[in-house]
Amino acid sequence: MAERKTEESGTPFIEDHERKAAQLRWRAIAGQIIAGAVIILLWEFLTRIQWLDAYYWSSPGTIVRTGWKAATEGTLLEDLAYTSGATIIGFILGTVTGSVLGLSFWWSTLYSKITEPYLIAFNAVPKLALAPVLVVMFGIGFNSKVVLSFLMTVIVAALAAYSGVKNVDRDLEKMLVSLGAKRHHVFFKVIIPASMPWMVSILKINISLALAGTIVGEFISSRQGIGRMILYAGQVLNMDLVWVGVVVLSVLSIVMYLGTVWIERWLMRGRNPKS
């Protein structure tokens, strides 16, 4: 009987569930760190015993030394700031613009029917193939990288927001209108909140697309950036510097991914009691 009361009261059960979830989260983090350390140590060991060719695969120790030299004596930090800036600006502009565009379809069924096929068609176009054209149009500087990053994200965000709009409960809209609510009231009080999970769900995808767009733009033509550094290192056959660029991009993508996770939790905080 006591156990039943405890379960019905809810509080002890919820606390136990949250404790188990926290333990699982910390175990997962510990497992990720251990797995990463094992990979690094194994990589270093295999190159030292020459099972892996150190010229092609480099080694963690060499990558750290080369990276430190590139950061203190070279332009690694400036290149990192350049790539990060273009990616973040393009990501923000593309995601916000696309979300606004997708939400705007709610206001007119005719407008959405006319525009949707063109969005789908443009989404099917390989935007990276347009990179040479964009570099010629906007120059080899910062702007072309931002534009390419923007184009990689804007359509994805628009389609996600539009999917959210189409899945809003129409009965709820009709009820609010019948109670005297204006269209802008329904839009801000129902449409945007109901579409928010759809818009938030593509943040992780968009940040990776934005980074890919920036790097491709730097590969084609650029004076700065991690992509430019990797391209230069490959041309002079400096494989160690190539691996420095690859590792830096990997770390940067992880940091940006974690940033989108934080943004997602912040935006969905009111919907998820555990956040």
List pLDDT tens digits, range 195-232: 888 989 899 999 999 999 999 989 888 888 999 999 99
pLDDT of residue 29: 85
∠ CA 115-152-89 to the nearest 5 degrees?
110
Most confident of 76-90, 174-188, 217-231: 76-90
126-153 pLDDT per residue, tens: 877 888 888 888 888 899 899 999 999 9
Asked if pLDDT for residue 54 goes beyond 90, the answer is: no
Domain 59-267 has CATH 1.10.3720.10: yes
Measured CA to CA, the distance from residue 162 to residue 198 in angstroms comes to: 9
* pLDDT category of residue 77 using cuts at 50, 70 and 90: very high
Pick from 130, 135, 101, 132: nearest CA to 118: 101
Q: What mean pLDDT do residues 161-172 have?
A: 83
256-259: long-range contacts, CB 8 A cutoff, minimum separation 24: 256/84, 256/87, 256/88, 256/207, 256/208, 256/211, 257/204, 257/207, 257/208, 259/207
Domain ranges for the chain, please list them. Answer: 2-48, 59-267
Report yes or no: 203 and 95 within 8 Å, Cβ to Cβ: yes
Residue 51 φ then ψ, to 5°: -75, -30
Measured CA to CA, the distance from residue 178 to residue 189 in angstroms comes to: 15
87-117 pLDDT per residue, tens: 999 999 999 999 999 999 988 888 888 888 8
Q: What mean pLDDT do residues 4-26 have?
A: 66
Collapsed DSSP state (helix, strand, coil) of residue 268: coil
Tokens of 54: 């150190």
Asked if pLDDT for residue 2 goes beyond 70, the answer is: no
Tokens of 43: 């990589």
Instruction: Please list, in sequence order, all residues whose beta carbon lies within 8 angstroms of the beta carbon of residue 123, skipping any fewer than 6 positions away.
Output: 155, 156, 159
Give the distance from CA 40 to its chain's centroid.
25
Asked if pLDDT for residue 13 goes beyond 70, the answer is: no
Pick from 223, 98, 197: nearest CA to 149: 98
Predicted TM-score (pTM) of the model is 0.84
